[in-house]
């Protein structure tokens, strides 16, 4: 008979801390080397055996298309190359992708996966091109080939948003539109980071508008007790699966409300999250675990922990809710220690895996939380988790041809799959955990703020405010968004002034009219208004304020 001893969380915390070893810098450096070797074992094998397919099959040593047919693993891994310091390979692959990837193909692509992996991966690589030593266009980061690729791939997703509610279909197929209207919650609410970035870098408002519309529609469907379910019919707005929780099917919706609020300084998104969080804490939170409940009644439907939920402590730490984050992390870490990985589902009352959910497909979430919590606390317990993860993956999942998803953590059977998030997320977060002075943490090894110049005339200060990671661990730089949207606004003002001048020879009060159409968080709207006069676009380069004044002076003197 098995006897389960329930250890109170505080005692667990004390025991764990007592056991946490201290990692000296040389040990951290040695672990970083091991993580790099892990990356190149998988990456080289993908290139040699699977490219241009989406994924490597690590048991049969060949490739397969999974989420589209976009060489997904290469796009997803691109920014990890730079994170590991490999600028030459980053440059080679960035060029190769521009030549080889075609988004104009007939595939039934997942809107969610294409967005987080392809659009997110390309946007991040675009923003990191300066650090990678790529040749930059004069107006970078407001233009560039990788940005155009990201825009191109995102444009292919836009038809999915043309629904009565604005909530998108889960898949998009331009040839035979036979998509089911049932979409998971995360599939509706995980666009604002990539789409707002696209809009603000390119000046095309449509992406941010559709992402916001989907978020607002979804918000209206929450239950009277403030929860959302798992799957919704995006045409009728009826909840088809009514389990409410923070894991599979929902997870990144909450993540994007928080990260969207931070990146866009958006009060509306923050308020949405805080209201959800109150309901989540009220109905689903027990002993620092999060359960699944019926979205209308709040009654428990599944007392399980899902491995996808392990992002939550990291998210809480971003909001400064450290005590709760630390306690929940300890619960999840105890599951990792029990199995040497996180099973997809873990029964909390029974302390066992759940039937058909015993696998560990090399997911990143617990390592991601460890990275945030180490950054917030400096506690070496989180490094210990990182080392445990590295040892486990090497021991259980390594094959001659890569790393394989673990089908069952009890007997270590493997599946013939290496998802692209292993290179994009799992290895990146592991590396960043062991490199606390990496530039992606916002400072250099001397503790100084890390930044670089961009924009025409060098007026963009980039990277100085830290990075926001999308849900596939692709870092986005909020400073680039602000710089490019400010320049778009400048261009519009200047264009209006010039047009007014050319129409009646003197500046009018309407010169500033477009400034109100810039996104400003809560009620931000972009783009020209219905009925607005169609104007000829002037191709003015982005100008710093002093140069704008000079041009204005010239215009006035030319006209007088
Ligand atoms: C990734 O594609 C993303 O993190 C997504 O949000 C959830 N699933 C995987 C990783 O587990």
Mind giving me the DSSP string for 11-74? HHHHHHHHHPPPPPHHHHHHHHHHHHHHHHHHHHHHHHHTTTSSEEETTTTEEE--SSSS-HHH
Q: What's the pLDDT at 16? A: 54
Q: Which atom of ligand 1 is nearest to the CA of 365?
A: 11
Q: Are 89 and 81 in contact (CB under 8 A)?
A: yes
- Token representation of residue 548: 């704008």
What pLDDT score was predicted for residue 265?
96
**What's the pLDDT at 51?**
97
C-alpha count within 13 angstroms, C-beta hemisphere, residue 86: 16
Test site for ligand 1: of 246, 252, 307, 474, most ligand atoms within 8 A of the Cβ:
252
Residue 512: how many CB atoms within 10 A of its CB? 13
Q: Which atom of ligand 1 is nearest to the CA of 363?
A: 11
Dihedral over alpha carbons 282, 286, 291, 295 (to 10 degrees) = -20
Residue nearest to ligand 1 atom 11, measured at CA: 363
Distance separating alpha carbons of residues 486 and 491, to the nearest angstrom = 9
Distance 472 CA to ligand 1 centre (A): 6
Minimum CA distance residue for ligand 1 atom 10? 363
Report whether residue 474 contacts ligand 1, using a CB cutoff of 6 Å: no
The set of long-range contacts for 523-529, using a CB threshold of 8 Å and a minimum separation of 24, is 523/268, 524/208, 524/264, 524/266, 525/205, 525/209, 526/199, 526/205, 526/208, 526/209, 527/205, 527/206, 527/209
Predicted local distance difference test score (pLDDT) of residue 344 = 98
Work out the pLDDT band at 409, boundaries 50, 70, 90: very high
State yes or no: is 151 an active-site residue: no
The answer to whether 179 is a known catalytic residue is: no
Q: Is 90 exceeded by the pLDDT of residue 253?
A: yes
pLDDT for residue 108 is more than 90: no
429 lines ligand 1 (CB under 6 A): no
Q: In this model, does residue 93 exceed pLDDT 60?
A: yes
Minimal-distance CA residue to ligand 1 atom 3: 472
Among residues 251, 288, 309, 477, the one annotated as catalytic is 251
Please say whether the beta carbons of 123 and 150 come within 8 A.
yes
Does residue 388 sit in helix, strand or coil?
helix
Whether 163 is in the pocket of ligand 1, judged by its Cβ within 6 Å, is: no
89 token code pair: 């390979």
Q: At 522, is the pLDDT very low, low, confident or very high (cuts 50, 70, 90)?
A: very low
Residue 318 in this model has a pLDDT that exceeds 70:
yes
Question: Hey, what are 442's tokens?
Answer: 């916002």
Q: Is the pLDDT of residue 457 over 90?
A: no
% of the chain beyond a pLDDT of 70 = 84
Of 107 and 172, the structure prediction assigns the larger pLDDT to: 172
**pLDDT tens digit sequence for 204-224:** 999 999 999 999 999 999 999
Read off the tokens for 191. 């666009």
Closest atom of ligand 1 to CA, residue 473? 4
Decide if 394 is catalytic. Answer: no
Q: What is the pLDDT of residues 149-194, one digit of tens each?
A: 999 999 999 999 999 999 999 999 765 556 789 999 999 999 999 9
Determine which residue's CA is closest to atom 6 belonging to ligand 1. Answer: 471
Counting residues of the chain whose pLDDT is more than 90, the rounded percentage is 75
Active-site residue flag, 365: yes
Ligand 1 pocket, 421 CB below 6 A? yes
Choosing from 472, 473, 475 the residue with most ligand 1 atoms within 8 A of its CB, the one to mutate for a pocket test is: 472
Tokens read off for 95: 């060029």
SS3 of 224-272: the string is: CCCCCCCEEECCCCCEEECEECCCCCCHHHHHHHHHHHHHHCCHHHHHH
Q: Give the number of C-alpha atoms closer than 13 A to the C-alpha of residue 262, restricted to the C-beta side.
A: 19
Average pLDDT, the chain: 87
Contact 218, 189 (CB under 8 A): yes
Kindly report, residue by residue over 419-449, the tens digit of the pLDDT.
999 999 999 999 999 999 999 998 766 767 7
State residue 421's pLDDT score.
Answer: 98
pLDDT tens track for 186-202: 999 999 999 999 999 99
Q: In the prediction, which pLDDT does 328 show?
A: 98
- At residue 339, does pLDDT exceed 80? yes
Establish whether residue 307 lines the binding site of ligand 1, counting it when its CB lies within 6 angstroms of any ligand atom. Answer: no
Cα separation, 204 vs 158, in Å, equals 13
**For residue 15, what pLDDT is reported?**
52
Which are the contacts of 37, defined by CB distance < 8 A and separation ≥ 6?
A: none
Question: How far apart, in Å, are the Cα atoms of 402 and each of 89, 117, 363?
Answer: 19, 20, 15
Of the residues 76, 151, 344, 490, only one is catalytic, namely 344
CA distance 266 to 275: 15
Query: Atom of ligand 1 at shortest distance to CA of 117?
Result: 2
Is ligand 1 within 6 A of the CB of residue 471? yes
Whether the pLDDT of residue 256 is over 50: the answer is: yes
Q: Which two tokens stand for residue 362?
A: 């090399």
Q: Is the pLDDT of residue 506 over 60?
A: no
Is the CB of residue 472 below 6 angstroms from any atom belonging to ligand 1? yes
Higher-pLDDT residue of 355, 445:
355
Q: Please state the atom number of ligand 1 nearest to the C-alpha of residue 307.
A: 11
């Amino acid at each position: 008979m098995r006897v389960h001893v329930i250890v109170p969380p505080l005692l667990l915390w004390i025991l764990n801390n007592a056991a946490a070893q201290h990692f000296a810098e040389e040990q951290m450096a040695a672990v970083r080397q091991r993580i790099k070797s892990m990356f190149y074992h998988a990456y080289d094998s993908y290139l040699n055996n699977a490219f241009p397919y989406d994924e490597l099959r690590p048991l049969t040593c060949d490739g397969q298309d999974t989420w589209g047919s976009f060489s997904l693993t290469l796009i997803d891994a691109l920014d990890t190359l730079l994170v590991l310091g490999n600028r030459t390979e980053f440059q080679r692959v960035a060029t190769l992708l521009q030549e080889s990837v075609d988004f104009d193909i007939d595939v039934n692509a997942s809107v969610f996966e294409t967005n987080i992996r392809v659009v997110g991966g390309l946007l991040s690589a675009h923003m990191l091109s300066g650090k990678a030593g790529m040749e930059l266009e004069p107006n970078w980061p407001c233009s560039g080939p990788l940005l155009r690729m990201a825009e191109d791939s995102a444009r292919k997703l836009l038809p999915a948003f043309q629904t009565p509610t604005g909530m998108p279909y889960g898949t998009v197929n331009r040839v035979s539109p036979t998509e089911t209207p049932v979409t998971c919650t995360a599939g509706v609410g995980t666009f604002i980071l990539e789409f707002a970035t696209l809009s603000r870098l390119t000046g095309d408002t449509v992406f941010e508008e559709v992402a916001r519309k989907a978020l607002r529609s979804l918000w209206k469907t929450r239950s009277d007790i403030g929860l959302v379910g798992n799957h919704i019919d995006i045409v009728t707005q009826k909840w088809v699966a009514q389990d409410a929780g923070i894991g599979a099917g929902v997870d990144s919706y909450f993540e994007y409300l928080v990260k969207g609020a931070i990146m866009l300084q958006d009060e509306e998104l923050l308020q949405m999250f805080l209201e959800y969080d109150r309901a989540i804490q009220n109905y689903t939170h027990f002993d620092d675990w999060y359960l699944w409940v019926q979205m209308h009644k709040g009654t428990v439907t599944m007392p399980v922990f899902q491995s996808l939920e392990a992002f939550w402590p990291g998210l809480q730490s971003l909001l400064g809710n450290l005590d709760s984050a630390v306690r929940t992390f300890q619960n999840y870490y105890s599951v990792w220690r029990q199995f040497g990985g996180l099973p997809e589902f873990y029964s909390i009352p029974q302390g066992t895996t759940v039937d058909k959910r015993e696998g560990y497909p090399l997911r990143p979430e617990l390592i991601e939380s460890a990275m945030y919590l180490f950054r917030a606390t400096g506690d070496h317990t989180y490094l210990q988790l990182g080392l445990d993860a590295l040892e486990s993956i090497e021991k259980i999942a390594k094959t001659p041809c890569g790393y394989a998803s673990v089908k069952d953590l009890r007997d270590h059977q493997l599946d013939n799959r290496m998802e692209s998030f292993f290179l994009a997320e799992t290895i990146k977060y592991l590396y960043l955990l062991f490199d606390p002075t990496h530039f992606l943490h916002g400072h250099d090894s001397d503790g100084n703020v890390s930044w670089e110049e961009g924009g025409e005339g060098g007026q963009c200060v980039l990277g100085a405010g830290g990075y926001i990671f999308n849900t596939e661990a692709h870092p986005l730089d909020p400073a680039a968004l602000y710089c490019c949207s400010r320049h778009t606004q400048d261009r519009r003002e200047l264009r209006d002034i010039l047009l007014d001048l050319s129409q009646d020879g003197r500046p009018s009060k309407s010169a500033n009219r477009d400034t109100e159409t810039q996104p400003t968080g809560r009620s931000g709207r972009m783009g020209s208004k219905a009925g607005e006069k169609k104007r000829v676009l002037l191709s003015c380069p982005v100008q710093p304020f002093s140069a704008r004044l000079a041009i204005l002076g010239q215009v006035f003197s030319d006209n007088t």
